[in-house]
């Protein structure tokens, strides 16, 4: 299983690490990627997270060589590859549809890239075996894609990408075609592959926040062709810097508030709330208070918010409550309630000061 990591001379894994330097891509007058500056360190998993049309897939395609920037440079392993064709970039790629050849057996699919590079026959056989073992598909070499499940086909696509010993692995929504149970299992498999291939840089495009939070060392949040935020999953979830990040990386209550005196209070709809700090927000200035739903409790407590229950969802281990508070919707995720309030009931929600993040009003807007 470690043979892919300990390659023989002349067959070593390609250079790793990716750097975008002011990369812009446009189709006619429409800019789809705007001045991207981003570095993926060697051995790092970077998730590009954002809604459809945010530019994340365009960024990945610029690394792959499938689109040409109108400005800026793409570097892989410190080498400028902006003008190189895809086959000279030392990358492996797995796309949403897997793109397996239906008339080829699994082993031949995995060998395809090696044959295109005119690798020696003995080397091809060894690398195919290594890649199939690494992805848990060693027993399926003689099967055709139609004889495999969706999860197995995805493993074959990953094995094909790894067989060429890339320095960079590009994954474009690789789990979107799988059902929820298979996605969960493949997330664990991708995490294992990352541990097995510590020198390979992985650029992972997804719109699924769970995938990004689970797999990535860092997450780059994209919106409307631009990079909006970048940080570790913990940083972006616990201390988002923009409203867009707060709402896209996990669920969030975003409440309009006014900063009060003393540096630790804000006012929401006439109610004074205590927060962990208002540094950088002037007294009397408008701001946004971010509180994650699972940090909101039901019943009396600090920072009490009183409102009317508008919706109640049972989610197995938890209940999701939606309450209208002073014209704003507030979400709370609480442990399954033995006696739940009814829609229309008056409820009190609360949160601790240390669980609230204050954002300048409009943080993350264009400009």
For 248-270, write each residue's pLDDT tens digit.
898 899 999 998 877 789 999 99
138 and 120 Cβ atoms separated by less than 8 Å: no
For 39-74, write each residue's pLDDT tens digit.
999 999 999 999 999 999 999 999 999 999 999 999
Q: Starting from the edge strand earliest in sequence, which strands make up the sheet with 286-291, in order?
A: 271-274, 265-268, 253-259, 286-291, 356-360
Q: 298 - beta bridge partners? A: 349
Q: What is the pLDDT of residue 10?
A: 33
Comparing 181-195, 197-211, 245-259, 345-359, the range with the smallest average pLDDT is 181-195
Per-residue pLDDT, averaged over 173-180, amounts to 73
| Separation of alpha carbons 28 and 12, rounded Å | 40
Q: What is the pLDDT of residue 224?
A: 95
Q: What is the pLDDT of residue 4?
A: 44
pLDDT at 1 over 80: no
Compare 239 and 185 and report the one with higher pLDDT.
Answer: 239
For 139-148, write each residue's pLDDT tens digit.
999 999 999 9
At residue 205, φ and ψ (nearest 5 deg) are: -95, 130
* Closest C-alpha to 183, from 207, 151, 159: 151
Q: What is the pLDDT of residue 72?
A: 97
Indicate the Cα dihedral angle 67, 72, 76, 82, nearest 10°: 50
For 86-120, write each residue's pLDDT tens digit.
988 989 888 877 788 999 999 999 999 888 888 89
Query: What confidence category does residue 85 fall into, taking pLDDT thresholds of 50, 70 and 90?
Result: very high
* Closest C-alpha to 154, from 127, 173, 126: 173
Compare 262 and 271 and report the one with higher pLDDT.
Answer: 271
358 and 266 Cβ atoms separated by less than 8 Å: yes
| Separation of alpha carbons 188 and 195, rounded Å | 11
Query: What confidence category does residue 134 fall into, taking pLDDT thresholds of 50, 70 and 90?
Result: confident
Compare 329 and 152 and report the one with higher pLDDT.
Answer: 329
| Separation of alpha carbons 110 and 118, rounded Å | 14
In this structure, is the dihedral angle defined by the CA atoms of residues 314, 315, 316 and 321, taken in order, positive or negative? negative
* Closest C-alpha to 100, from 158, 52, 53, 41: 158
State how far Cα 229 lies from the chain centre.
12
180 and 102 Cβ atoms separated by less than 8 Å: no
Using DSSP, state whether 331 is helix, strand or coil. Answer: strand
Q: What is the pLDDT of residue 188?
A: 82
Compare 132 and 194 and report the one with higher pLDDT.
Answer: 132
Per-residue pLDDT, averaged over 177-193, amounts to 76
State how far Cα 325 lies from the chain centre.
32
Query: If you search the block for the tokens 């409203």, which residue do you land on?
Result: 243
CB-based burial, 68-106: b 16+ in 10 Å, e otherwise: ebeebebbbbeeebeeeeeeebbbbbbbbebebeeeebb
| Separation of alpha carbons 257 and 200, rounded Å | 45
Give Dmax over CA atoms of the chain in angstroms: 76
Residue 264 has a CB neighbour count (10 Å cut-off) of 16
| Separation of alpha carbons 355 and 303, rounded Å | 11
pTM, full prediction: 0.84
220 and 179 Cβ atoms separated by less than 8 Å: no
Q: Which pairs from 149-155 meet CB under 8 Å and 24+ separation?
A: 149/182, 150/177, 150/178, 150/179, 150/182, 151/178, 151/182, 151/185, 151/186, 153/98, 153/100, 154/94, 154/98, 154/178, 154/186, 155/189
Per-residue pLDDT, averaged over 292-301, amounts to 94
At residue 153, φ and ψ (nearest 5 deg) are: -60, -40
Using DSSP, state whether 103 is helix, strand or coil. Answer: coil
Q: What spatial distance separates the first Cα and last Cα of the chain, rounded to whole Å? A: 49
For 8-48, write each residue's pLDDT tens digit.
333 345 678 999 999 999 999 999 999 999 999 999 999 99
């Amino acid at each position: 299983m470690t043979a892919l990591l300990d390659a023989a001379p002349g067959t070593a894994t390609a250079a790793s690490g990716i750097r975008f330097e002011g990369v812009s891509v446009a189709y006619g007058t429409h800019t789809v990627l705007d001045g991207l500056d981003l570095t993926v360190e060697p051995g790092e998993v970077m998730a590009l997270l954002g809604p459809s049309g945010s530019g994340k897939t365009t960024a990945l395609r610029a690394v792959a060589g499938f689109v040409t920037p109108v400005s800026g440079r793409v570097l892989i392993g410190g080498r400028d590859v902006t003008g190189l064709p895809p086959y000279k970039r030392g990358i492996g790629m797995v796309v949403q549809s897997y793109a397996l050849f239906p008339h080829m057996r699994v082993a031949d699919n995995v060998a395809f890239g090696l044959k295109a590079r005119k690798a020696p026959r003995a080397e091809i056989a060894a690398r195919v075996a290594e890649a199939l073992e690494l992805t848990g598909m060693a027993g399926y070499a003689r099967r055709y894609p139609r004889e495999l499940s969706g999860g197995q086909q995805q493993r074959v696509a990953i094995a094909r990408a790894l067989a060429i010993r890339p320095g960079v692995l590009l994954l474009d929504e690789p789990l979107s075609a799988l059902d929820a149970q298979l996605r969960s299992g493949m997330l664990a498999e991708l995490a294992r592959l990352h541990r097995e291939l510590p020198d390979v840089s992985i650029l992972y495009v997804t719109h699924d926040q769970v995938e990004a939070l689970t797999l990535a060392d860092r997450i780059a949040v994209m919106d409307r062709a631009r990079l909006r935020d970048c940080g570790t999953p913990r940083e972006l979830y616990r201390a988002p810097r923009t409203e867009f990040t707060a709402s896209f990386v996990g669920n969030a209550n975003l409440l309009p508030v006014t900063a009060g005196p003393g540096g630790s209070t804000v006012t929401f709809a006439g109610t004074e709330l205590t927060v962990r700090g208002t540094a950088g927000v002037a007294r009397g200035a408008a701001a946004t208070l971010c509180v994650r739903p699972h940090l909101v409790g039901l019943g009396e407590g600090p920072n009490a918010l009183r409102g009317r229950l508008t919706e109640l969802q049972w989610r197995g281990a938890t209940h999701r409550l939606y309450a209208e508070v002073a014209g704003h919707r507030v979400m709370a995720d609480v442990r399954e309630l033995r006696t739940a309030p009814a829609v229309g009931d008056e409820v009190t929600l609360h949160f601790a000061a240390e669980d609230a993040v204050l954002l300048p009003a409009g943080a993350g807007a264009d400009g």
